[in-house]
Amino acid sequence: MMKHFLIRSALAALVSILPLAASAQDVPSYAQPPAPDSADLMIHGRIASFDGAYALTIRDEKGYIDNVQLHQGTIINPTGLTLQPGMIVSILGYNSGSYIDANEVDTPYTFYSGVPWYAGHPWYYYGPTVSFGFFFGSGGWWHGGYFRGGGYHYYGGTRVYSSVHVNDVVRSNPGSFRGHAFVASREHGGYYPHGGGGHTHGH
């Protein structure tokens, strides 16, 4: 009798914590308690959705869904690229509470006849089953050489660097900071959506 009671109690305890464990996986990286150096962040991932103006969701390399906001003047590399769901990105930005504010969005793509390509194929050739390691294995397009040896830890799915400042990479572009937001002109790769209104951050 006591044995059955203990088994039922253990099962009840297990069932009660399963929803907590499942919901913990849905918590985006920026929703973690703030780290002292969490102002500068980097995300590696795949675009899950894009509203065509400023709001992105990214499935990062740890499986979290991160809310990301672009602002007028966010740098997008290569210049002129239209972001689309499924694209691989590396985002440099900062924790802005309910979202990550993107100062720079880097992609591995180059243009050929107006279409983004990677490794000899149109960008969409590499579907969601291709691992992130395929894209982030080298340090080139995502400034990996700059961060190599800098040491980082994960906060959710966000990389927080201890001895390298993400914003130092952003500063290497023509433009200026307005609070935490880095703003580049359209001519220097700054993002200004087609017909987009005046979405800026008042930091």
Range of the domain at 115: 36-188
> What is the arithmetic mean of pLDDT over 98-107?
89
DSSP sequence for 88-117? EEEEEEEE-SSSEEEEEEE-S-EEETTEEE
Contact call for residues 84 and 50 (beta carbons, < 8 A): yes
Asked whether residue 28 is assigned to any structural domain, the reply reads no
| Domain at 126, CATH number | 2.40.50.320
Which of 83, 90, 34 has the alpha carbon at shortest distance from 61?
90
Determine the pLDDT at residue 56.
94
3-state secondary structure of 59: strand
Asked whether residue 135 is assigned to any structural domain, the reply reads yes
Which of 67, 85, 69, 87 has the alpha carbon at shortest distance from 156?
67
Return phi, psi of residue 134, to 5°: -60, -40
Query: pLDDT tens, 11-33?
Result: 555 445 444 444 445 555 555 44
170 vs 10, higher pLDDT:
170
Kindly state the percentage of the chain with pLDDT values over 90: 14
Is pTM, for the whole model, over 0.75?
A: no
179 vs 190, higher pLDDT:
190
Asked whether residue 14 is assigned to any structural domain, the reply reads no
Asked whether residue 153 is assigned to any structural domain, the reply reads yes
Domain count, the chain: 1
Asked whether residue 18 is assigned to any structural domain, the reply reads no
Asked whether residue 4 is assigned to any structural domain, the reply reads no
Query: pLDDT tens, 63-89?
Result: 889 999 999 989 888 888 899 999 999
